Structure 1
């Protein structure tokens, strides 16, 4: 069995070099990755997924802060950063034009290795941190139902709004 740490190191090197071919060499042709924006399957979708990051953040870099290996599984925590120069596609299809703003987000991944390549992966990252660094804000899209007014949920939503304002520096 190939060392999951070495495979992940090769993946990060390819990611930071924006080298799609080397990146795909780290994955089985039918690999499956579950991401915050959905599931991607196979080389074509995996290339598209990471290609979005390359075109949105052309100076994208990733730094692994923690790595644990257990058998055929590697778990990592990382920080990704760069400047948003290209269009960012949001999960609902909305596009954010390039802002030039610095963007960074933290996340973690869990990868399983089979025959020297990633067979499955799960990626988790702080979408709110990434979107807020681009100037996005949370907006309530549905009015509060009258029966919910004055409830604990309303007090929690007020706390969340105050927290978000404080994070945004307002």
Structure 2
């Protein structure tokens, strides 16, 4: 996602999720589709949240408005030997930017 560097490691992932849940304390995700393959899991879901703290997107920053937002996302989770090795997330950037007031 624009505004965030690629991260690696359990602690870095915990910190990133902590930031998201602080910025959007009412964050909720409704899974709409799951596809499981030999080495890949695909999750499609809808996120609803209200921004409570500034949120950077590229060179811009969304500011809290109190208005709930809704946008779709997809996670690609790669795994090997029963362990997830990579997670890539793709969001509907237009809907997310609109929800952030950008």
Q: TM-score, normalised by structure 1?
A: 0.53
Corresponding position of 2:64: 98
Structure of larger gyration radius: 1
Per-residue CA deviations over 1:121-147 (Å, capped at 9, x if unaligned) read 2111112211112321xxxxxxxxxxx
Separation in 2 of the partners of 1:134 and 1:91? 13
Per-residue CA deviations over 1:6-37 (Å, capped at 9, x if unaligned) read xxxxxxxxxxxxxxxxxxxxxxxxxxxxxx23
Ranges in structure 2 where 5+ consecutive residues have no aligned partner: none
Q: Secondary structure at the match of 2:52?
A: coil
Q: Structure with the greater relative contact order (CA < 8 A, sep ≥ 6): 1 or 2?
A: 2
Separation in 1 of the partners of 2:77 and 2:16? 16
Superposition RMSD on alpha carbons, in Å?
1.7
Higher helix share: 1
Corresponding position of 1:121: 87
Matches within 5 A, 1:14-33: none
Ranges in structure 1 where 5+ consecutive residues have no aligned partner: 1-35, 137-170
**Residue 50 of structure 1, CA deviation:** 1.5
Corresponding position of 1:27: none
Counterpart check, 1:80 vs 2:47: yes
Q: TM-score, normalised by structure 2?
A: 0.84
Q: Secondary structure at the match of 1:128?
A: helix
